[in-house]
Amino acid sequence: MVMKTPSICSILFAFLVLFLCSCTVYSLGHDDFIQCLSLQSKDHTSISNIVYTPENSSYSSILNFSIQNLRFTSETTPKPLVIITPVNESQIQPVIYCAKENGMQIRVRSGGHDLEGLSYTSEEPFVILDLVNLREINIDVEKKTAWVQAGARLGELYYRIAEKSRTLGFPGGVCPTVGAGGHISGGGYGALMRKYGLAADNVIDARIIDVNGRILDRKSMGENLFWAIRGGGGASFGVILAWKLQLVDVPEKVTVFTIARTVEQNATNIVHRWQYIAHKFDEDLVVLVYIRRVNSSQDGKRTIQASFQSLFLGGVDRLLPLMQQSFPELGLQREDCTEMSWIESTLYIYELPVGPLDVLLNRTQANIQYFKVKSDYVQKPISKNVLEGIWKRFFEEEAEEAQLVLFPYGGRMDEISESAIPFPHRAGNLYKINYQVYWDEEESSERYLNWIRSLYSYMAPYVTKFPRAAYSNYRDLDIGVNNKGNTSYGQASIWGLKYFKNNFNKLVHVKTKVDPSNFFRNEQSIPPLYSRWTKNGK
């Protein structure tokens, strides 16, 4: 039998048919959705002003505005059929209804910092609900509370608090462009964590839209759902609209310092010692460690540098004797220290110039790059030999813009039960490791991804085990992926137990009650208990 080779014309014709069909499906998908929105919305004019399709000239700029990772800007990255940027809560309910009616997924984006792009990508047809316009912040100084809409950035929150009071703060994250909605729903930690716990530990009320379009507060949603969204990832349960936060007391003056030591300046021994004591420091004191490769100031050769960066809730006169008693190896001197207000320290900790505060209102982040992040928890100090093994890997080419961040636990984190909210990483943890690697060219991505994965593999014997824990806001698809909503409990527990440990089972039961159809889902969302699962699947 003679096989005929297809002609170029037939191949081109088949490709054209496939292309036209896909475009027709694409168009019909968002046309039906938009028609549904018009029918379901009370104000058709206002809806048209907040809907963006690929045919709209502003579509790309709206899509890219909040993307923080160039890994998810390529031509092959799945794009939303529609982007909706609501300006009030009532415009969200039709989006949920029409997405369900048209078999489309919703990705909710508050700040765009999801490390795997899960707030703005999907392998299924999807729409982005971008909360960029929902960023109202109301501060009540007398009651020490704040209502913060989900689209507000942390920098905006800190700025608005400082407008009203220089002796109030909030224990949120370090990066000012992170969105409040996602940050707090995953726990949220920062420089005040050892004193006041997580951002989610300081939530006293919330507003959420559930799968049925109901707007619920703490009383109407019930304590189980209120528990789940404070650390369990709000996007698994609905659309977080706003948080009511308990603000915390900060002194008029805090003290900061950064001391850098290379391996030639005894960095290995100092980092090794830090592991034994940082979690025992006075709860007013946090000392982070940044590990990077640098050029030596003496001969220009490459070396490893550990930078010890600190925030102390008090003056330098109280800090110096504390450091001399607890960490003399660092050699802190008065001239290393600077006193400033807490709001100024938010600039310092993020390595911004300490000056005009309106930089905190900047909603975009400079120097966007390709990057990958992973996380670990450490419960036993790592030996000097293992630290030197890490340094060795930092001399590899791919580590030019890599760093480790070691964040100490202890203090208030040891006092809060691991089941108080779905964030289980409490007593027993010495510190958390944040692995980061950055690069500039898409074609180099695989090399850099392999580098950080290799480092992560090297660290396996020296971090938490059974499970090897991870921080849920540092989303990492390497540890497991939800298969389009059909993932069993057993499959989902691979990543669920890493993020949530024993809290995972309760999260699954809450999900089953509030979203049994698994409408709100992503590649690492909480699954409901499907009745179709087999016993082995359970």
Closest CA to 284 of 308, 312, 257: 312
For CA atoms 415, 417, 418, 422, the dihedral sign is negative
* CB atoms inside a 10 Å sphere around CB 124: 12
Cβ(180)–Cβ(157) below 8 Å: yes
**What gap in Å lies between CA 319 and CA 49, rounded to an integer?**
54
List phi, psi (to 5°) of 11: -65, -45
DSSP string of 421-469, one letter each residue: SS----TT--EEEEEEEEES-GGGHHHHHHHHHHHHHHTGGGS--SS--
Exactly one of 159, 370, 431, 474 is catalytic; name it: 474
- End-to-end Cα spacing for the chain: 52
DSSP string of 147-216, one letter each residue: EEETT-BHHHHHHHHHHH-SSEE----S-TTSBHHHHHHT----TTHHHH--SGGGEEEEEEE-TTS-EE
**What gap in Å lies between CA 102 and CA 214, rounded to an integer?**
19
**What gap in Å lies between CA 235 and CA 114, rounded to an integer?**
12
Neighbouring-strand partners of residue 178? none
Question: Peptide bond before 516: cis, by omega within 30 degrees of 0?
Answer: no
474 given a catalytic annotation: yes
**What gap in Å lies between CA 20 and CA 14, rounded to an integer?**
10
Active-site positions? 474
